[in-house]
Structure formats: structure tokens, C-alpha cells
Amino acid sequence: MDERQLYISPLTKRYASKEMSYLFSDEKKFKTWRKLWVVLAEAEKELGLSITQEQIDELKANIDNLNYEVAEQKERENRHDVMSHVYAYGEQCPKAKPIIHLGATSCYVGDNTDVIIMKEALEFIKKKLIACIKNLKEFALQYKGLPTLSYTHLQPAQLSTVGKRACLWLQDLVMDLEQIEYCIENLKLLGVKGTTGTQASFLKLFNGDHNKVKQLDEIVCKKLGFDKKYFKVTGQTYPRKQDVFVLNVLSSIAQSAYKFSNDIRILQSFKEIEEPFEKNQIGSSAMPYKRNPMRSERISALARYVIVNSTNADITASTQWFERTLDDSANRRLVLAESFLAVDGILNLYINVTSNLVVNEKIILKRVREELPFMATENILMECVKKGGDRQELHERIRVHSMDASKNIKTYGGENDLLERIINDPVFNLDKDDLDDIMNENNYIGRSKEQVDEFICEVVEPIIKKYENIEKIEAEITV
């Protein structure tokens, strides 16, 4: 069959990188299974079991030599993926065949592989997160002094700056980075626990030597790069709450990206800030003039999927019966991989959009100046009082003029003529020069510029310095 006749996940075809897709591929999984079997054999040999170096060398020589056809044929017969691969590995390693998977249960390879892959995937996500942080840092510094309308309830409130708003997006990512660092640092392997977590099979292999069984756990996990990072007690699987922690981190990144993408979509509607729009890009099949925020919308769409998907882990963790049930297996095959692939796709888009944001400064300042007269009324009032005016009378006059100016805008579609009304009202005793000083938009941004500088210097720069040697990530957007 042609691949176009079969369903292929859009995450691998359209959104996620090849690197992330590989991490959750069969090849990566089965090679890791074989690595785990080698490590188990090595540790058992070190602790005195009758395993030869020749057997271990044979296993090592065939780690990457996957004989898929043999494993697939065997699984059709026995309906068990792990034992099918034990059989296939044994065909290639006849000398080592008797000691492959010795004392272990399927979760030894399954669960430990999941953790190893999730850790690599989290490290990859972290790199992309840092790339987004770097992009937003540069953007925030570039526009730290550009006044813009800020909003509460999506209604114009006071002025901020474009760079200060970018720091809000940036701060969300910094919080996500802290969480992903914590998650990576605290991921634990299942270790070597046996069928129900009691290690009974290994105790039998080591003739009742509890110390050697404990050492086996430690040695295996250390060889896998998880020194002392394994669960001390488990059922057959590692606690599924660990998946909750991982998916919560992915959900948190998705939430941050969702917030950013929604803000960009609204700002693009205002014509203030736009995502990149390529020369030959088509915004609409029916309306050739449109520049739709397609990438930001895609971030929102994928983020919603990840946020909802994280609930799967909550349900799985809460419904595991005693030492294990298998209702987690098919679910986790989908949920873990697809959540990582989706977040990878989200960050590809986030990097792309933040690399080339278009800022329409004249539109931003035009919209500021349309709203600023209302925001400046308190300053106008204070200036008039300093000139000897009556505060109560002035307050009432400003209130009346503000209502009339608002009516002129909303009812008649006119301009905001509040300043003209104030100049023409002798009660205020103000001329145009007085109002020009009051109406300087930079007087209304508070400490926005200073906050940007302080946040970048005190919070963001240390992060960038910490990861200054991290490899540069290329975020490819294919659609």
C-alpha cells in the first residue's frame, strides 16, 4: 500500500522534528531494550553469576543489528512484544541466548526505556525552550522603550511597552525552564525489580543474597547514567505518577506558548505586531488580501491538545490496581510520544515566530495616541490645579468632556476630540504647548524600560550564560 492510503500522525508528518520523531521510534526503543539487556548481563556477571565475557561481547556486537522480521513474525505467534525481541536477539546471539533477560520481567526493558527516552526528549525540549528565551530576550531589549497600550479585560488600561509585554511571555518560559530542569534532575528509573517489585527472581538467582540484589539495582542504574536515581520500592512498573510530573511540564510549556500565541493573534488583528509572512504565502483561499496568523493559530491548536492530553496521565496514575494493570500500556504508547512530539512542534513554531516578529511601530503609536487623552485626564487635572484651578469643578468638566468625546467616537464614528474640547474650555487655562508636554506617551509607561533591563540582567542573562555552550537548535517549519 502507498503510505498515502494509510493514516500517518500529523505530528510526525507536519509538525515535529525528525530528531524528536526518532526518539520515539521503534528503532530507538528496541536498541535501548538491547542496551538494557547488555547492562543487566554485565551487572549480573560482576556480581558473580555464570555469565561469560564472550556472551556479553556477542550481545554488544548485535545491539544495533535489529532483525525486525524475526521479532514481528514471533510476535504474531506469541502476542508478546518483549519476548518476541528476546527471541530475535537470541537468534543473533546463540552463545548469549540462555542469559538474555535473566531474572527480568518485561517492565525492566519497557519502563526503563521509557524513562531513558523521556529524559533525552526533555533535554531536547529544554534546548528549544532556551532558543525561545534567547529570541524573546533580544526582542524585549529592542522594544523596551516603545510605548504600547496595555489591557485589562481586553480593554485599554494604561500604557506599557512592547518590550515589557515580551518579558511577560519570557517569564512564563523561565518558569517552564525551572520546572523542566527539576524534572530532568529528578527522573528515576524503575531499576531491576522483578514481576511485582519484590525482586524475588533475583534473590533466587543470587541464592538469597539480599546485598547482591540491592547492588544489582545500583549497578544497572549507574551504568545507564542514573546513579542512585531509581525507585527504592515499586510494583511491577515505576509509579505512574512520574508520568504525571513529566506531562505536567509539557502541559506547562504548552500553556505558556498558548498565551503567547493568543496575544500575537490579537495583536495581529490590531495590526500592531505580526508573525512572519513569507513572500508567496497565501492567507486565505477566498480573500487574497488576508495575512492570517497561521503559525500562532497552530501553536494554539497543538497547545490545546497537549494540555488536554496531560489529563491522561492523571487518570492512569489514579487507576492502577495494586502492583499493576495493563490498561496503562496502550494509552501510554500514544500519550507520552504524542505529547512530546506536539510540544516539539509547538516550540519549532515558537522559535520561528519569535525570530521574525514584525512590529508596526506607527500603528502602535497611533493607537496609543487615540486612547491617551482619556488616560491623561488625571495628569491634566493636576496641571490645572497647580495653575490655580478648582479640582472639583475641573473634575466635573473633564468628566463631561470625556463622555462627549466618547460619544463622538462611538455614536458618530468621529475622532477622539477630548484634547480639543479641553483647550477650548477656558476653565482649564491650558494651551497646546501645555498639553503637548502632558501628552508625551513616555510619561505614562512607568518603570517599563527599567523592569525590562532588570529582568533581563537579573533573571535571563544568568540562564543564557549557564547554557552558553548549548548547541544551536534549528527549528524547521515544513508547512
User: Would you please indicate which residues are annotated as catalytic (active-site) residues?
Assistant: 153, 284
Distance CA 218, CA 211 (A): 11
Residue 342: phi and psi, rounded to 5, are -70, -45
Give strand ranges (E) for 207-333: 273-274
Q: Is 96 helix (H, G, I), strand (E, B) or coil?
A: coil
Give strand ranges (E) for 9-119: none
Tell me how far apart the 2 most distant CA atoms of the chain are, in Å: 104
- What kind and span of H or E run contains 161? strand 155-161
Q: DSSP for 200-231? A: HHHHHHTTT-HHHHHHHHHHHHHHTT-TT-B-
The CA distances from residue 23 to 15, 20, 271, 456, 476, in Å, are 15, 5, 40, 33, 17
Beta-carbon contacts of 253 under 8 Å, excluding residues fewer than 6 positions away, are 125, 129, 173, 176, 180, 306, 343, 346, 347
What are the cell numbers at 246? Answer: 513529566
Q: How many residues does the chain have?
A: 479
C-alpha closest to that of 89 among 69, 109, 66: 66
What are the cell numbers at 146? Answer: 516603545
| Cβ pair 259, 172 in contact under 8 A | yes
What are the cell numbers at 98? Answer: 540462555
Helix, strand and coil percent figures for the chain, each rounded to 5: 65, 5, 30
The CA distances from residue 375 to 29, 150, 403, in Å, are 60, 11, 13
What are the cell numbers at 382? Answer: 493636576
Sign, CA torsion 401/406/409/410: negative
What single letter denotes the amino acid at residue 157?
A
Distance CA 155, CA 139 (A): 25
- Supply angle C-alpha 180, 184, 190, rounded to 5: 135
